């Protein structure tokens, strides 16, 4: 604890130096390394922050429990926010199992920590096998504390609250992991699990794979990953490499083979039109099929710079719908996958100067290519049932429909 915080009994501040926390999140059996403050308004518009507790070991445990229940909200100084984050990492299971803490607060805590560990994963030195293994173990430790909570139907309210937000790789990844755990827990008959312990271990590994399924995007050029508009055909081909990159980056970790396959094949389509290998039906591992459904569901319900977010109902209606323009869509997707030259010829009037004529012809071809990209995106939203295993998609709808936060009855 910093000396200035040890010695200071109170602060006068506009609130920017303090962070609110739920006092119920403090584990009375864990000696905290941060001071707790209360906040009161002053006449000049600022706040008076008075120290309530500097050392949790200085008072009897039952007295501390009484105080924590009596306080509504307490604050910590930002200088000690890292101490609090470390505390939460080590006491996440206590927080998520606390009956008196609101589910929304539990979810916010879990989202914050999960996003942080995924961000850290994207920044490690992948040339170091030891660092890669440590990264996986850190994620496994976090998930093992949270698995009972994130696999419960009650936790789906947090996923519902995140639907419609901006699409970012980190938050997308934790939602995919979260929903994968919930799906496995509700559909155990599909997976090689027979005891409570094997179910739990299986869900932990699957959630880790969900968190890391897009880790290969660190190898994709930033101008492609962060492009605010639709990807052209070349960029579409480049982005497809991320599944292979993901498995290569995780190759030296101890992630089991079935979960590596989940990562590698989570963009394979049921009709063989996916990537990286164009696998069909029973040749696609079940975990990869599940991850594909969840990946697309979250992508459709996330806001992009070039399109608004769809509601869960709208997204699943598209995913379950037969596409009346499937033949045309498959032609456009094949062009994109193979990065084929646009199958049209640009003809410019002869009275153009030769150099300008060539330039204008190239512009016309690029315009036509962009039109085909936009057409492909529009046609995809007419129906995507050819991409997914129908039984698994129905099971996914039934799974999340069990939560009051999703109303999907019209799809069933």
The predicted-structure confidence for 330-368, as pLDDT tens digits, reads as follows 777 777 666 666 665 555 566 656 666 667 666 666 676
What is the rounded distance in angstroms from the CA atom of residue 129 to the CA atom of residue 135? 10
Does 6 have pLDDT greater than 50? no
What is the rounded distance in angstroms from the CA atom of residue 178 to the CA atom of residue 113? 13
Residue 74 sits in the same domain as residue 104: no
Alpha-helix residue ranges (DSSP H) falling in 122-272: 129-150, 156-162, 169-186, 196-212, 222-225, 233-240, 242-249, 257-264
Q: What is the CATH number of the domain that holds 394?
A: 1.10.3210.10
Residue 64 sits in the same domain as residue 120: no
Boundary-marking domain end, from 62, 84, 106: 84
Considering the domain boundaries, does residue 142 fall inside one?
yes
Does 233 have pLDDT greater than 60? yes
Boundary-marking domain end, from 66, 84, 102: 84
Residue 216 sits in the same domain as residue 232: yes
Number of structural domains (the chain) is: 2
Considering the domain boundaries, does residue 282 fall inside one?
yes
Residue 74 sits in the same domain as residue 175: no
Considering the domain boundaries, does residue 309 fall inside one?
yes
Residue 41 sits in the same domain as residue 148: no
Considering the domain boundaries, does residue 268 fall inside one?
yes
What is the rounded distance in angstroms from the CA atom of residue 117 to the CA atom of residue 215? 12
Q: Examine residue 340 and say whether the peptide bond preceding it is cis (omega within 30 degrees of 0).
A: no
Considering the domain boundaries, does residue 411 fall inside one?
no
What is the rounded distance in angstroms from the CA atom of residue 338 to the CA atom of residue 234? 9
Q: What is the pLDDT of residue 3?
A: 40
Q: Tell me the β-bridge partners of 10.
A: 50
Residue 129 sits in the same domain as residue 194: yes
Residue 169 sits in the same domain as residue 318: yes
Boundary-marking domain end, from 28, 63, 84: 84
What is the percent of the chain where pLDDT is above 70? 85
What is the rounded distance in angstroms from the CA atom of residue 7 to the CA atom of residue 54? 10
Residue carrying structure tokens 């990953």: 225
For 366-403, b/e burial (b = at least 16 CB within 10 A) is eeebeebbeebeebbeebbbbbbbeebbebbbebbbeb
Residue 32: domain span: 1-84
Residue 1 sits in the same domain as residue 111: no
Considering the domain boundaries, does residue 307 fall inside one?
yes
What is the rounded distance in angstroms from the CA atom of residue 336 to the CA atom of residue 273? 11
Considering the domain boundaries, does residue 260 fall inside one?
yes
pLDDT tens digit string along 291-310?
Answer: 999 999 999 998 887 788 88
Residue 160 sits in the same domain as residue 30: no
What does the mean pLDDT of the chain come to?
Answer: 84
Residue 123 sits in the same domain as residue 45: no
Nearest to 161 by CA among 381, 403, 399: 403
Report residue 3 as tokens. 């000396």
Residue 211 sits in the same domain as residue 251: yes
Does 369 have pLDDT greater than 80? no
Q: Tell me the β-bridge partners of 307.
A: 304
Considering the domain boundaries, does residue 351 fall inside one?
no
Residue 76 sits in the same domain as residue 104: no
**Please, which residues have CB within 8 angstroms of residue 9's CB and are 6 or more apart in sequence?**
50, 51
């Amino acid at each position: 604890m910093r000396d200035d915080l040890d010695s200071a009994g109170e602060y006068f501040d506009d609130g920017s130096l303090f962070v609110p926390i739920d006092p119920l999140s403090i584990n009375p059996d864990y000696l905290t390394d941060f001071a707790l403050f209360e906040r009161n308004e002053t006449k000049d518009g600022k706040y008076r922050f008075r120290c309530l507790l500097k050392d949790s070991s200085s008072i009897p445990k039952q007295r501390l429990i009484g105080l924590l229940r009596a306080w509504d909200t307490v604050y910590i100084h930002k200088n000690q926010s890292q101490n609090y984050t470390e505390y939460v990492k080590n006491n996440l299971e206590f927080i998520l199992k606390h009956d008196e803490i609101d589910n929304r607060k539990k979810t916010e805590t879990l989202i914050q920590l999960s996003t942080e560990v995924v961000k850290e994963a994207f920044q490690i030195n992948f040339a170091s096998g030891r660092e890669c293994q440590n990264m996986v173990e850190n994620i496994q430790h976090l998930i093992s504390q949270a698995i009972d909570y994130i696999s419960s139907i009650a936790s789906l309210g947090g996923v519902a609250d995140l639907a419609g937000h901006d699409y970012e790789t980190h938050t997308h990844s934790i939602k995919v992991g979260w929903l994968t755990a919930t799906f496995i827990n509700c559909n155990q008959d599909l997976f090689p699990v027979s005891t409570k312990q094997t179910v739990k271990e299986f869900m932990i590994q699957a959630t880790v794979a969900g968190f890391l399924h897009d880790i290969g995007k660190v190898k994709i050029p930033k101008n492609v990953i962060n492009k605010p508009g639709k990807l052209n055909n070349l960029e579409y081909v480049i982005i497809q490499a991320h599944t292979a990159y993901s498995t290569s980056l995780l190759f030296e970790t101890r992630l089991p083979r079935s979960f590596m396959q989940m990562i590698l094949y989570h963009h394979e389509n049921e009709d063989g039109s996916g990537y990286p290998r164009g696998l069909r039906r029973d040749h696609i591992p079940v975990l990869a099929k599940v991850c594909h459904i969840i990946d697309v569901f979250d992508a459709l319900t996330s806001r992009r710079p070039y399109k608004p977010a769809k509601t869960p109902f709208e997204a699943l209606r598209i995913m379950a719908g037969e596409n009346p323009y499937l033949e045309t869509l498959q032609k456009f997707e094949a062009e994109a996958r193979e990065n084929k030259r646009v199958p049209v010829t640009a003809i410019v009037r002869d009275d153009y100067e030769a150099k300008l004529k060539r330039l204008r012809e190239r512009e016309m071809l690029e315009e036509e290519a962009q039109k085909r990209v936009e057409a492909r995106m529009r046609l995809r939203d007419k129906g995507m049932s050819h991409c997914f295993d129908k039984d698994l998609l129905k099971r996914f709808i039934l799974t999340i429909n069990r939560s009051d936060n999703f109303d999907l009855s019209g799809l069933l």
